[in-house]
Chain A
């Protein structure tokens, strides 16, 4: 299982873009990169995932480097409600099993 490395905390001004980095240098060719977030005392919420190409949805954009050793989650216009712990996860096992191994994540604090 690939391990991920994220900064423990980040601050972002409300209305600005939040760019959350993640290193996954040992990722294997068939492993996806998933991003989830957890607001205090709730279950994790899915944000986005990708394999090789950059992805965008209504919540965020995911930029994956060409060598797939790192990625960046972009929240284009952060709001106070985006304050949460953000987890970058590479899927354990093969074939998109849903078995996710969580690291320590990045605590994002969005400030007014």
Chain B
């Protein structure tokens, strides 16, 4: 099946700093990617839709200035958590869909803000 890769898989950062998470589709082009976050023992929550070459679409309640999304190419989307705080600690997951097939998910990034 198609492969979606995230980097890094784990990151620890200090409060107030920014962290960038990369999501790559390794064997297909993705005009649209999606970003989710997941708190412990909870389900995945859709944060935003990343569109290649245009602005991301954020779900209600998600701060677009805090979670910056860039989709500069057909194989790469990045999520930058700006001025991170401990409450931003979570499991961040991306997904991408190859044309007319199912969505494939990355392995996730565990962010810990200390």
Interface residue tally for chain A (C-beta within 8 Å) = 21
Q: Is the CB of B105 within 8 A of A43?
A: yes
| CA of A97 to CA of B1, assembled, Å | 18
Q: Is the CB of B46 within 8 A of A43?
A: no
| Chain A, 77-99, CB within 8 A of any chain B CB | 87, 96-99
Given A98-B96, A105-B43, A46 contacting B108 (CB threshold 8 A): no
Given A41-B91, A41-B110, A87-B43, A99 contacting B105 (CB threshold 8 A): no
| Chain B, 1-59, CB within 8 A of any chain A CB | 1, 4, 6, 32, 34, 36, 43-46, 49
The A interface is mostly helix, strand or loop, or mixed, namely: loop
Q: Is the CB of B43 within 8 A of A99?
A: no
Rounded to whole Å, the gap between the CB of B56 and the closest CB of chain A is: 13
Rounded to whole Å, the gap between the CB of A27 and the closest CB of chain B is: 17
Q: Does B93 contact A (CB under 8 A)?
A: yes
Q: Does B95 contact A (CB under 8 A)?
A: yes
Given A49-B102, A98-B32, A100-B103, A43 contacting B43 (CB threshold 8 A): no
Q: Does B90 contact A (CB under 8 A)?
A: no
Rounded to whole Å, the gap between the CB of B97 and the closest CB of chain A is: 3
Contact of A104 among B43, B46, B96 (CB under 8 A): B43
Closest to B42 in A: A104
Q: Is the CB of B102 within 8 A of A46?
A: yes
| Chain A, 29-71, CB within 8 A of any chain B CB | 34, 36, 38, 41-46, 49
Q: Please give the residue numbers on chain B whose beta carbons come within 8 Å of chain A beta carbons, in ascending order.
A: 1, 4, 6, 32, 34, 36, 43-46, 49, 91, 93, 95-97, 100, 102-108, 110
Closest A-B pairs by Cβ, 8 of them? A98-B97, A43-B105, A98-B103, A102-B44, A102-B43, A44-B105, A43-B108, A46-B102
Q: Please give the residue numbers on chain A whose beta carbons come within 8 Å of chain B beta carbons, in ascending order.
A: 34, 36, 38, 41-46, 49, 87, 96-105
Taking A36-B105, A38-B44, A97-B97 as known contacts, 11 extra A-B pairs with beta carbons closer than 8 A to each other, sorted by chain A number, are A41-B110, A43-B6, A43-B108, A46-B1, A87-B43, A97-B32, A99-B49, A100-B95, A102-B43, A102-B45, A104-B43
